[in-house]
Structure 1
Amino acid sequence: MTRRAPLNRKSGITFLSALQAVLPNARQTATVTETKPFRRARPCDAEWPTAEAWQDLYHQVGGRLLKPSDPLTVCRVDPHGKACRDFFANLQNPYYILDHLNLTQASGWVDAWTSQPSAYAVVARNASDVAAAVNFARNNNLRLVVKGAGHSYHGTSNAPDSLLVWTRRMDAITMHDAFVPQGCEGKIAPQPAVSMGAGQIWGHVYNEVTTKGGRFVLGGRCLSVGVAGLVSSGGFGEWSKQYGTAAANLLEAEVVTADGKIRIVNAGSDPDLFWALKGGGGGSFGVITRLTLRTHELPAFFGSAAMHVQATSDEAYLRLIEHFIDFYNLDLFNPNWGGQAVFYSDNRLDILMGSQGLDKAQAEDTWKPFFKLIQGSPDDYVIRQPLQVKMGVARAAWDPERLRKESDSTIPDPRPNAPIENNIRRSDMNEAGQYFHGFGSAWLPSTLLGDDRRKDLARMLFSASRHWTFALHFNKGLGGANPDVLATARDTATNPQVLEAFALAITGSEEPAVFPDIVDHAPDISAARKDAEANAMVVNEWHKLVPDAGSYVSESDYFLKDWQRAYWGSNYARLSDIKKRFDPGGLFTVHHGVGSEAWSEDGFTLVDAHHHRLPESTTKLVVDNEPA
């Protein structure tokens, strides 16, 4: 089990004992009746819940209703002081961010969003707490936000003036030797599985399932990513071609829907909602409170292969890309290999692949032809990092004791009394607190690996690299996967393009945590926009070759126009129908989530009533007679 950090003032949170003091002062008002579009209530509105109403919710959730503080107050008071310096230093630690309900793993996105705390937050310990928060938000017409680990690139786990449901403390993990979904007895064979609270993160899950339990569960590579967000987005692991997507491994979920009901959903109970939770996007259909995923037999070894090659000319770089694509198609396009290749504008290629089901000799034999080819052309290629093939016992892959000894790849959470599972991959350090400039992704179909298309693919990759760095993530695409993996993935809401994609192409630009109004910690907006333009040019090159390429919902452009088709393709119509059935009032609205086209950008105002059963309403326009 996970050790839990206490909730106190060090977390940037003030308890509700001084509730009256934080509410707006009483005002003398005049009212004018006016017809306006339906809008969620804000603290400045007359419709905002009274102190007594908040106090009632406080008691319903056992005192776990909090008012998050503004984490940037110390920097506004003294931008050059130690407290401000310490705050920004702490933002380099994803676990520090994880344990503070007033923070998100990204600080924002230029011209899009900035991380801001909610007005109130329920620190949920169980589904009943979540149901109380959902009912309160619905009955009081509040903007509702859900956050577990807070890794949303699009800022969907934060919104000012909202009520936040924070699931982080829902962290129980239970292993099952023979799990059968509720109500499916006699219909579905028992199988090994693991149940996890929605607030659990993958690093802790891997320790329980693999290190202690000797099994494998498909989850994210980043150890601080939350389980619920990865599953609901249809996320991938290093070896998804062998084990499928996180969504495809879902056996059952407990979820609180917009009507406040706590539902157990699986293939036999509410199958449509169950399907929507498998890749239909987080925060759109309800609040997931518990998930059960199938576990798999561990291979003997997990391994890696890495090398960095510098081409000496543009012509040599194009040939290098052609060689690598040929090699990938012949020897790596199979369930044994995942990982990525990174393409740079300075003609460098970094290869960072992961293996399963092979021993070291087999992995080294796989790479010998490619490495020999590179070595044989010293005038064209400079080997910046020679080929390194590493192999380790699979059961020890996430052993926290081992990770802490391997300081070359991971570092521990430096805070006193941090759980031993809190380890940070050095390659992920730059992601904590990051502020996005731009982003883009595209599924690349396996047809591009055909004999008549590989040169076209190589030329496209070369052209794209002229604008900005990008990577091919071979684990994020099920082309080349086992037939049973394709069958289970076909029964998810994820864009069907995933089934045929050999890789997901990703480009992006970012900088360490910044906030627009903080002295010495504000973004360079002009430079950020310039970077975003370069990212867009990379995506444009991809689309020249694959005009209809879809995009991965969790790693995509915030400003993507045709997001419904890009994220879900032909599945969107069914998702939209399920959304209207289970959330007719649009309580669960997130940026570019199913049904969000009916709402304003901030999620507060209904702009298209045809999507929901909410007619335009008569509201009161409040006129102040004196300042609040």
Structure 2
Amino acid sequence: MAGKATVSFFTILCAIGASAQQTCKLTPLDADWPSEADWSALNTTLGGSLIKTQPVASSCYPGNPFHSSQPCEIVKKEWGYSYYHASLPESIGSPLYANNSCLPPGAPGYTPTKGCEVGGAPQYVVNATTEEQVATAMAWASERNIRIIIKGTGHDLNGRSSGAYSLSIWTHNFKNLDFDAGWRSPSDNRTEAAIILGSGHDWGSASRGAAKFGRVLVGGVDETVGVGGHIQGGGHGPLSSTFGLGADQILQVRVVTTQGQILVANEAQNQDLLWAIRGGGAGQYGVVTEYVLKAHPNPGNVVSCAIEVSAAGNDIAAKEAAWRGFAVLLASVPDLMDAGLTGTGMGLASTLQNASVSNPIRKASISINFFTYNTTEEKVASLLEPVRDRILAEVGNSTVTVNLSKPSTQPDFMTFFESVNEAPSGAGTAGLMTSRLLGRKELSDIPISTLASYLQRIMVTQDPTSTSLMVIGLQGGLGPRNVPEVMRGALNPAWRSAYVHMMSYGASIDSSLSPQEALDGAAQWLEETMEPVWREWAPGSGAYMNEGNAFDCMFKEDFYGASYDRLVEIKRKYDPAESLFVLSGVGSDAWDYDLNSAADLYLVILNQSLACAVHSPTSCSIAISCAWSVPRVVSVPSFLLVTSLFVPTVVTLESLIVSAGSVIAVIVVSPQATSSFIPIPVQGHFSIVSFFSPPVFPSPPFMSLLAVLLFPQLLQFPLSLRFELLALLLDFAHPGSTHFHHRGTAGCIVVTRLADADPNLSALVIDHLLPGAKTTLTYKSKKSESLADKEVAVPSGGVLGGGSAVNMMMYSRA
């Protein structure tokens, strides 16, 4: 059984399996992590294109060690817009997936006590302008076992364009664009009108560039959507029901692999890589620097017309009739799309806050804006008027409003595209969605009452006092179905029979929880409440990976379908070191996803041949033994052993060797304790700090230390600065100590400091830590359980211990 590595925005840990071990990616806490000199040498090799991450919102935190390029007022003003994050090397539009590491005041998830740190952002970014720079950087990182992530110019709703302890390849500058009216396929000499497009474009610049040649591309309806991730995930838009999806337009790509190869993939060479890029998911096989895409004539005479259905009354009859009217409209969609219509829609289901127990039906409304090209207003009206009449017949005399708007016409597609992009797109919102691809059998071939029931069940909310939102995309149909076999790739086969891409937003992000806890809660609710409805309604169908539930337990089937197994083999071929991996990506089940592996402050490094056990007799005392079968060598910049518990405790530590410049503190809060003490052998220069268990409460300096470690909300400092302050405090309080006593423990916990201490910070230690010291402590178990009469056994390779500001005692099995 293969072991798993943990993909964390704060740390990467490895759990060792019985017969094999997955290689963990390096972090700055590992001895093999490149030195500053190594990174500097890489920067020189790259011609100065390497950027050390400086969170842009760090300007909102005075005294932090970063150097933001923009003042805080500008950051706060622009933070809510997608284009702003796309213009920055490290920032992402969904910062929840970066553990909200550095937010400006007023942003969703901001708390003044969290501070600012690199956190979930990459350590370094390659601001690449050439393929050679990408190749050099990719090979360099892959050879050193460093994770690589790819960021384009758009946004990623599932956080796949960022990752802690990674090297990011930013393709923002690859913005070449040209038109070839007779691009020739190397496999069969057929010619195609094509746009040659750099991967750094968003669909706004790409579409306007193509329009200069009288052509359109199959891109996203939102101009801020980036070309690369959109196409590689499938890529739907207002033209996809006519010409196929974005992935179906790819004629050729240029790809840089993690091994440093610069490859051309088309129908004559590297065909497997081309197949994977055509819908097999972004950020997984290599860095695409250039696309050759099919270019289509700019459609003229774009006619739009909308149908709206809503419950006008609050009575049960009106609510039930509105859901049936909703179902009639959706059941009509396959025929309308076969007749040439496409469009987008939105459904709302009102809060249940005022609903009685006997009447739990939400009040629903839906509107679909249909449009098509090269037609007339009369033709569109003739298609939609019978649908309106069927809805009216279904709702009868109930108080339901059914409206058919007057058709409107725009001269061509690009005029239509500009009209829907007049306002800038938002960013920074927090939430999870779930989605499904629905075909004729799910929409038209079931009774209206059954379809209405599915709609009610899928339009629910985790918070019953909030409104449910559904987005309906008419992006399937004849376009994807009629794509020639020669152009088809790894795109989820469910697209070939789908008409509708339906998204439902009902999961809530609890801002009182950590980002990981909030995501876990929302994901669990989706898995228990909404995913079963999709699986009952559309079994064996799939979902669009770019707009789906990133934590879907069946992501292989839902996002990739029958293509998955082949994609695994292709990924192994072109990324053998697994330097590229993303949430719910190909092969991602070999990695654990956890924003809180380090629990804000603590990195647990007990992962080699460790056997720890906790035995708690009825006397409510605890005995802990932590022993390594071979001497455990800890090679990190610095680390901390933290132990504390208000119960009688016996502890034994054996065979621990420290081999780095380190600061070691043993923190004891236990009025009654006995100890079995074995000194720790030491290699290297460091300080060992001794603290003793006080009769009642610790002294103020001791409490100051605990405040820095356990209660970071007392300090408005970033993580790296808190550890620098800690190191200074330890040296200040106990300079030159060479031994320690160990009394009382809640586990074996190793904590790392990310930066060397700055001597100039000594004044901050005295001025800010000691005067503000607390004199009481509160400990809370992760599950609020007493440790009395508990027995926790952790197998070899497991982890015992952990901690954060609110969860000091956390026991987990590997």
* TM-score, reference length from structure 1: 0.78
Which whole-Å CA distance do the structure 1 matches of 2:422 and 2:63 have between them? 31
Count of residue pairs brought into register by the alignment: 546
Are positions 1:251 and 2:244 aligned together?
A: no
Q: Secondary structure at the match of 1:283?
A: coil
Q: Secondary structure at the match of 1:368?
A: helix
Q: Relative to structure 2, which stretch is displaced further, 379-388 or 140-149?
A: 379-388
Does structure 1 retain, via aligned residues, the 8 Å contact 2:299–2:373?
yes
Based on CA coordinates, which of the two structures has the bigger radius of gyration?
2
Q: How does 1:351-390 map to 2 (within 5 A)?
A: 351-372=368-389, 379-383=397-401, 387-390=405-408
Which whole-Å CA distance do the structure 1 matches of 2:276 and 2:24 have between them? 26
How far residue 410 of structure 1 moved from its aligned partner, in angstroms, is: 4.3
Give the corresponding residue for 1:138: 142
Does structure 2 retain, via aligned residues, the 8 Å contact 1:509–1:532?
no
Q: Secondary structure at the match of 1:54?
A: helix
How far residue 75 of structure 1 moved from its aligned partner, in angstroms, is: 3.3
Q: Secondary structure at the match of 1:57?
A: helix
Which whole-Å CA distance do the structure 1 matches of 2:290 and 2:474 have between them? 26
Q: Secondary structure at the match of 1:363?
A: helix
How far residue 578 of structure 1 moved from its aligned partner, in angstroms, is: 0.9
Aligned match for 2:531, one of 533, 536, 539:
539
Which whole-Å CA distance do the structure 2 matches of 1:454 and 1:499 have between them? 24
Does structure 1 retain, via aligned residues, the 8 Å contact 2:234–2:279?
yes
Aligned match for 2:458, one of 464, 474, 479:
464
Which whole-Å CA distance do the structure 1 matches of 2:491 and 2:414 have between them? 32
Give the corresponding residue for 1:52: 37
Give the corresponding residue for 1:611: none
How far residue 372 of structure 1 moved from its aligned partner, in angstroms, is: 4.8
Does structure 2 retain, via aligned residues, the 8 Å contact 1:301–1:393?
yes
Are positions 1:500 and 2:501 aligned together?
A: no
Does structure 2 retain, via aligned residues, the 8 Å contact 1:275–1:493?
yes
How far residue 289 of structure 1 moved from its aligned partner, in angstroms, is: 0.7
Does structure 2 retain, via aligned residues, the 8 Å contact 1:173–1:195?
yes
How far residue 152 of structure 1 moved from its aligned partner, in angstroms, is: 1.7
How far residue 552 of structure 1 moved from its aligned partner, in angstroms, is: 1.6
Aligned match for 1:590, one of 577, 582, 598:
582
How far residue 593 of structure 1 moved from its aligned partner, in angstroms, is: 1.2
Residue 410 and residue 448 in structure 1: after superposition, are their counterparts in 2 closer, same or farther (change >3 A)?
closer
Give the corresponding residue for 2:208: 207
Are positions 1:392 and 2:405 aligned together?
A: no
Give the corresponding residue for 1:18: none
How far residue 371 of structure 1 moved from its aligned partner, in angstroms, is: 3.6
Q: How does 1:407-422 map to 2 (within 5 A)?
A: 410-411=421-422
Which whole-Å CA distance do the structure 2 matches of 1:595 and 1:203 have between them? 32
Residue 452 and residue 506 in structure 1: after superposition, are their counterparts in 2 closer, same or farther (change >3 A)?
closer
* TM-score, reference length from structure 2: 0.61
Q: Relative to structure 2, which stretch is displaced further, 596-605 or 64-73?
A: 596-605
How far residue 539 of structure 1 moved from its aligned partner, in angstroms, is: 3.4
Which whole-Å CA distance do the structure 2 matches of 1:129 and 1:527 have between them? 36
Are positions 1:92 and 2:106 aligned together?
A: no
- Could you report, residue by residue, the CA deviation over 1:260-283 in whole angstroms, capped at 9, with x for unpaired residues? 000010111110111011111111
Residue 382 and residue 167 in structure 1: after superposition, are their counterparts in 2 closer, same or farther (change >3 A)?
same
- Could you report, residue by residue, the CA deviation over 1:571-598 in whole angstroms, capped at 9, with x for unpaired residues? 1111111111111111111112112222
Does structure 1 retain, via aligned residues, the 8 Å contact 2:99–2:515?
no
Residue 227 and residue 37 in structure 1: after superposition, are their counterparts in 2 closer, same or farther (change >3 A)?
closer
Does structure 2 retain, via aligned residues, the 8 Å contact 1:247–1:492?
yes
Q: Secondary structure at the match of 2:174?
A: coil
Aligned match for 2:549, one of 547, 550, 557:
557
Which whole-Å CA distance do the structure 2 matches of 1:498 and 1:132 have between them? 37
Does structure 1 retain, via aligned residues, the 8 Å contact 2:126–2:170?
yes
Query: Which amino acid is 2:131 matched to?
Result: A
Consecutive unaligned residues in structure 1, runs of 5 or more: 1-34, 413-423, 608-617
Query: Which amino acid is 1:123 matched to?
Result: N
Aligned match for 2:96, one of 108, 111, 119:
108
How far residue 546 of structure 1 moved from its aligned partner, in angstroms, is: 2.1
- Could you report, residue by residue, the CA deviation over 1:345-369 in whole angstroms, capped at 9, with x for unpaired residues? 4221122333223222222222222
Aligned match for 1:435, one of 430, 435, 443:
430
How far residue 526 of structure 1 moved from its aligned partner, in angstroms, is: 7.0
Aligned match for 1:319, one of 320, 324, 329:
324
Does structure 2 retain, via aligned residues, the 8 Å contact 1:144–1:162?
yes
Residue 83 and residue 524 in structure 1: after superposition, are their counterparts in 2 closer, same or farther (change >3 A)?
farther
Residue 247 and residue 329 in structure 1: after superposition, are their counterparts in 2 closer, same or farther (change >3 A)?
closer
Query: Which amino acid is 1:209 matched to?
Result: A
Give the corresponding residue for 1:621: 635
Query: Which amino acid is 2:208 matched to?
Result: N
Q: Relative to structure 2, which stretch is displaced further, 273-282 or 440-449?
A: 440-449
Does structure 2 retain, via aligned residues, the 8 Å contact 1:232–1:280?
yes
Q: Secondary structure at the match of 2:293?
A: strand
- Could you report, residue by residue, the CA deviation over 1:502-535 in whole angstroms, capped at 9, with x for unpaired residues? 21221125899x9989xxxx98977994797379
Q: Secondary structure at the match of 2:309?
A: strand
Residue 174 and residue 591 in structure 1: after superposition, are their counterparts in 2 closer, same or farther (change >3 A)?
same
Query: Which amino acid is 1:469 matched to?
Result: S
Which whole-Å CA distance do the structure 1 matches of 2:232 and 2:175 have between them? 17
Q: Relative to structure 2, which stretch is displaced further, 526-535 or 577-586?
A: 526-535
Q: Secondary structure at the match of 2:546?
A: coil
Residue 145 and residue 339 in structure 1: after superposition, are their counterparts in 2 closer, same or farther (change >3 A)?
same
How far residue 87 of structure 1 moved from its aligned partner, in angstroms, is: 2.1
Give the corresponding residue for 1:571: 563
Q: Secondary structure at the match of 2:344?
A: strand
Residue 179 and residue 538 in structure 1: after superposition, are their counterparts in 2 closer, same or farther (change >3 A)?
same
Does structure 2 retain, via aligned residues, the 8 Å contact 1:325–1:454?
no
Q: Secondary structure at the match of 1:129?
A: helix
Which whole-Å CA distance do the structure 2 matches of 1:619 and 1:270 have between them? 45
Give the corresponding residue for 1:180: 184
Which whole-Å CA distance do the structure 2 matches of 1:561 and 1:112 have between them? 24
Give the corresponding residue for 1:43: 28
Which whole-Å CA distance do the structure 1 matches of 2:348 and 2:539 have between them? 21
Does structure 1 retain, via aligned residues, the 8 Å contact 2:122–2:164?
yes
Give the corresponding residue for 2:472: 473
Does structure 2 retain, via aligned residues, the 8 Å contact 1:343–1:350?
no
How far residue 53 of structure 1 moved from its aligned partner, in angstroms, is: 2.1
How far residue 222 of structure 1 moved from its aligned partner, in angstroms, is: 1.3
Query: Which amino acid is 1:124 matched to?
Result: A
Give the corresponding residue for 1:67: 52
Q: Secondary structure at the match of 2:474?
A: coil
Residue 144 and residue 371 in structure 1: after superposition, are their counterparts in 2 closer, same or farther (change >3 A)?
same
Which whole-Å CA distance do the structure 1 matches of 2:413 and 2:304 have between them? 15
Which whole-Å CA distance do the structure 2 matches of 1:602 and 1:244 have between them? 36
Give the corresponding residue for 1:304: 304
Which whole-Å CA distance do the structure 2 matches of 1:352 and 1:460 have between them? 22
Q: How does 1:593-612 map to 2 (within 5 A)?
A: 593-601=585-593
Percent pairwise identity: 23
Query: Which amino acid is 1:621 matched to?
Result: S
Residue 61 and residue 72 in structure 1: after superposition, are their counterparts in 2 closer, same or farther (change >3 A)?
same
Q: Secondary structure at the match of 2:564?
A: helix
Give the corresponding residue for 1:615: none
How far residue 395 of structure 1 moved from its aligned partner, in angstroms, is: 4.9
Does structure 2 retain, via aligned residues, the 8 Å contact 1:435–1:510?
no
Q: How does 1:328-367 map to 2 (within 5 A)?
A: 328-344=333-349, 345-367=362-384
Query: Which amino acid is 1:132 matched to?
Result: T
Name the structure where helix makes up a greater proportion of residues: 1
Residue 569 and residue 597 in structure 1: after superposition, are their counterparts in 2 closer, same or farther (change >3 A)?
same
Q: Secondary structure at the match of 2:385?
A: helix
Q: Which has the higher contact order (CA 8 A, sep 6+)?
A: 1
- Could you report, residue by residue, the CA deviation over 1:84-136 in whole angstroms, capped at 9, with x for unpaired residues? 45423311222111111121121225989998321111101121111011011
RMSD: 3.5
- Could you report, residue by residue, the CA deviation over 1:216-237 in whole angstroms, capped at 9, with x for unpaired residues? 2101111111111111111111
